[in-house]
Amino acid sequence: MFSKQTIVTLDLEGVLAPEIWIAVAEKTGIADLRLTTRDIPDYDVLMQGRLKILERENITLSTIQKIIADLGLLEGAKDFLDSLRDETQVIILSDTFQEFAYPIMKNLGFPTIFCHNLIVENDKIVSYQLRMQDQKTKVVNALRALNYNVFSAGDSFNDTGMLLAAHKGVFFNAPESIEKQFPTLESTHSYNELLQKFRIFSETLGSR
């Protein structure tokens, strides 16, 4: 009998890297840019608000890219990802943008990432283009259809579709307010704990 392979899908910001928009808010002093999908579940509402602020404050793409280049990773993220990639395949599923992601992916050793694109004119971010609506959930469903056993981890509202669609989905350092809304999802708060959850998932499959 054919044995399904495992694959892991991870959110990027809040799981492996700091929140980009929070970093931009701290550097620019614009408090409203601190809002993320932890605060506003509707991604389009969130992004339209960000675009208005960028236009109002004359913040360019290159300014944001410079902030991202200095951002670094969450402590232990690279070692965790390296350990995970020794055991299974990993795809980063993120609602960030290709124009933002490069320095973070470089620091992580260039794992595969699925994300979106910005629409830029003369260094000004004027809009954005989703690769597809609800891409995280759709990717997990596609991987399941390809006969993978999918383990997923994320920290925010926009990850919950992915987590619920996976064979095993867990929160990683999610706010308690979000955890309480999804009581069927387990929570983890360290990379060691997250890695252990994956290993238990993988071992359970092996014993079937």
pLDDT in tens, 29-76: 999 999 888 888 888 999 999 999 999 999 999 999 999 999 999 999
Joined together, the tokens standing for residue 24 give 């931009």
Name the pairing type of β-strands 112-121 and 148-154: unpaired
pLDDT in tens, 96-124: 999 999 999 999 999 999 999 999 999 99
Burial class (CB in 10 A: 0-12, 13-18, 19+), 7: buried
Residue-wise pLDDT tens digits, 83-96: 999 999 999 999 99
> What is the pTM assigned to this prediction?
0.92
φ, ψ of residue 56 in degrees (nearest 5): -60, -40
DSSP-derived 3-state class of residue 79: helix
Name the amino acid, one letter, at 177. S
Can you give the pLDDT at residue 38? 81
Structure tokens at 169: 């989905």
What's the DSSP call for residue 47?
H
Supply the residues annotated as catalytic. 11, 13
**Domains with residue ranges and CATH for the chain:** 5-18+74-206 (3.40.50.1000)
Return the amino acid letter for 200. Answer: I
Task: List Cα–Cα distances, 22 to 4, 12, 104, 168, in angstroms.
Answer: 39, 14, 15, 29
Flag whether pLDDT at 206 surpasses 70.
no
User: Which phi and psi (to 5°) does residue 15 adopt?
Assistant: -110, -45
